[in-house]
Structure 1
Amino acid sequence: MAETFKLEGLKELEAALGQMPRATARATGLRALRLGAEPIARAARRLAPVAEGNLVESIDVGTNLARSQRGDRGAVAPLEIHIGPGQQPQAIAQEFGTYKDPAQPFMTPAWEAERMNALDVVGTALGIEVEKTAARLAKKRAR
């Protein structure tokens, strides 16, 4: 069954971000996305098999993928955050299994468990970050 939820305040948020310089708005959005991604990353680290090299330590939150991870796709959204094990070949085998070994998923269950929490964190953090940034810009303009 599909989950439903209601997002409110997007027009106001878009207006507030539109009043900021593009780089400032981007940095503000990325700070909020990073905060929201951390619960998912923590859950993935907790669920990842420990006996598999440095898989747990490699799970990180970032804005860039390695060239080998990107494939042929470009950016899907103006702001993107990636959560995952970096360049760990065993990560794919652990998550999806191989013809020899069964799957031991850690990223999918982390996402399933924390996605709504992450959305709440992003919404709250984005509101706080936009207010702080707007106040900082207003103070700067007043000088």
Structure 2
Amino acid sequence: MAKVTIKIEGLKELDRALGQLPKSTGKAVLRKVLKDAGEPVAQAARANAPKLTLHLTETTDVGTKLTRRQASLHKKQAKDDRAFSEVFIGTSDPAGMQDEFGNEHQAAEPWLRPAWDGKKDATLDHIKNALWGEIERAAERLARRAGRRR
């Protein structure tokens, strides 16, 4: 399984702000931002996907779940590299790997890598910019709830 890991460094203030939220809230905020940021990449991948059967176009998505096989491979690869939150962009269709990387009977027809390469800078900028707003909104919601409980 091909894997791209992105680490954004130098965001200590965002990390501290996330740390001040309850863990479940912080994780939900981060997942929302990551899913929103990944959607343009998924849209570009859908547009690039081979059109022979349209199956890759229909199954390409952004999400937090992997197939059982993908999860077992991911678990082996990420043993020491646990992330607070992860979001995946791709397809559950095994043909996606064959189209992306090719094999002895089929030439590679990349569709996901070019989508990522074309959108990665905008995606990372979206994460950096949107995360502040989502953290602030979550903190305001928590403060309102705490005010109502008193």
8 Å contact from structure 1 (residues 63, 80) kept in 2: yes
Question: Alpha-carbon deviation of 1:71?
Answer: 2.7
Indicate the percent of aligned positions where both proteins have the same amino acid: 40
- Of residues 52, 60, 80 in structure 1, which corresponds to 2:86? 80
Question: Alpha-carbon deviation of 1:102?
Answer: 0.7
Question: Alpha-carbon deviation of 1:127?
Answer: 1.1
Question: Alpha-carbon deviation of 1:109?
Answer: 0.5
Q: Residue deviations 1:49-107, cap 9 Å, x none?
A: 01135111000111011111123443541110000011x12111100111121110001
- Of residues 96, 111, 136 in structure 1, which corresponds to 2:116? 111
RMSD of aligned residue pairs (Cα, Å): 1.6
Aligned to 1:3: none
Asked whether 1:98 is paired with 2:100, we answer: no
How many residues in Structure 1 have an aligned counterpart in Structure 2?
136
Aligned to 2:131: 126
Structure 1 residue runs of 5 or longer lacking an equivalent are 1-5
**Could you tell me the TM-score, scaled by structure 1's length?**
0.88
8 Å contact from structure 1 (residues 33, 81) kept in 2: yes
Asked whether 1:14 is paired with 2:20, we answer: no
Q: Secondary structure at the match of 1:64?
A: coil
8 Å contact from structure 1 (residues 59, 85) kept in 2: yes
- Of residues 123, 134, 143 in structure 2, which corresponds to 1:138? 143
Aligned to 1:45: 46
**Could you tell me the TM-score, scaled by structure 2's length?**
0.84
Q: Output the CA distance in 2 between the equivalents of 1:128 and 1:72.
A: 34
Aligned to 1:70: 71
Question: Alpha-carbon deviation of 1:7?
Answer: 5.8
Q: Which amino acid aligns with 2:132?
A: G
Structure 2 residue runs of 5 or longer lacking an equivalent are 1-7
Q: Output the CA distance in 2 between the equivalents of 1:134 and 1:47.
A: 39
Q: Secondary structure at the match of 2:52?
A: coil
Question: Which range moves more in the overlay, 112-121 or 10-19?
Answer: 10-19
Q: Secondary structure at the match of 1:129?
A: helix
Q: Output the CA distance in 2 between the equivalents of 1:109 and 1:32.
A: 22
